[in-house]
Amino acid sequence: MPTYEYLCLKCGRSFDALQPISAPPLKKCETCGGKVERQIGSGAGLIFKGSGFYITDYKRKGSSEPSSKKDKSGK
């Protein structure tokens, strides 16, 4: 289920709501009862942290083949 961000037009409060895609948007602020508007969000994307996503990340410096091949041959 996606998380939607809402903004209250009366009190200015911003809050998140976990809702199914098929659910209608919320209409009232949970705090003051004022009208709310669903905000356009960027959504959640994949975040890759650190190295290790490419074969070149595993190569030893000054080598033309991956270190895993050299380690298996005993050299």
Residuewise pLDDT in 10s, the chain (75 residues): 788 899 999 999 999 998 898 999 999 998 999 999 999 876 666 666 666 566 665 566 665 655 555 555 555
Residue 75's pLDDT is what? 53
The pLDDT, as a whole number, for residue 29 is 93
- For residue 67, the model assigns a pLDDT of 52
User: Is residue 65 classed as helix, strand or coil in its secondary structure?
Assistant: coil
pTM for this entry: 0.54
State the pLDDT at residue 64: 60
**CA distance linking residue 39 with residue 55, whole number of Å:** 40
